Copies of this chain bind each other. A is one copy, B any other.
């Protein structure tokens, strides 16, 4: 249905577009107007041919013999990713990790704002000093609808993860950043990105010995 005439952008390419965007921001700060695929690719840690191929998935932005306009290219990528306007995000599960993420500066710079947090025991969670309001789980459905929230960060314990996910999905969330080390089952129009810190370490552990 969604797979119309326009070609799909490979998952990995979308990920790299974010890397390019970071580098373009840095160039902009340094008042650099134009950049070649070679230079930008190097900054992002990829091959220049890959960068050019990635861009062709959604258009042509370069000038042959010259390179890319930094301002224009970053606008095009931001538009595509949907980070030009500030997007509201909610966080569910205000434990250690959850409260750290609530205070994490890295999101705002990239166009995301954690507007509220939810926890099964909001009073206990409130002892953590964060600027966002912390509500009970029962307030979640209404909040999501009222504020048209589409993305959620999930930092609840394993036993609660699937049930909370169901509630999120039922109320209109279509993107979940999941920190619970478990496979979440969701309808196919919902995207889940898993971040599993223990697995990342385990992965390192393998590569340092082989």
Contact = CB atoms under 8 A, between A and B. Distances in A.
Given A104-B197, A110-B198, A204 B191 contact: yes
B181 A106 contact: yes
A150 B204 CA distance: 10
Contact of A175 (B80, B176, B198, B208): B208
A70 B202 CA distance: 19
A11 to B, nearest CB: 8
Contacts of A201: 89, 107, 110, 112, 151, 153, 177
B107 A197 contact: yes
A27 interface: no
B97 A181 contact: no
Contacts of A196: 18
Interface of A: 2, 9, 14-15, 17-19, 21-22, 43-45, 80-83, 87, 89, 96-97, 99-101, 103-107, 109-112, 150-151, 153, 174-177, 181, 183, 191, 193, 195-210
27 contacts: A19-B183, A19-B199, A22-B181, A44-B183, A80-B206, A81-B202, A81-B203, A81-B206, A82-B208, A83-B205, A87-B205, A89-B201, A104-B197, A106-B181, A107-B198, A110-B198, A110-B202, A111-B202, A112-B198, A112-B202, A151-B208, A175-B204, A177-B201, A191-B204, A191-B208, A193-B200, A193-B204
**Nearest 9 interchain pairs by C-beta:** A100-B100, A175-B204, A45-B183, A191-B207, A110-B198, A175-B208, A18-B199, A174-B208, A82-B205
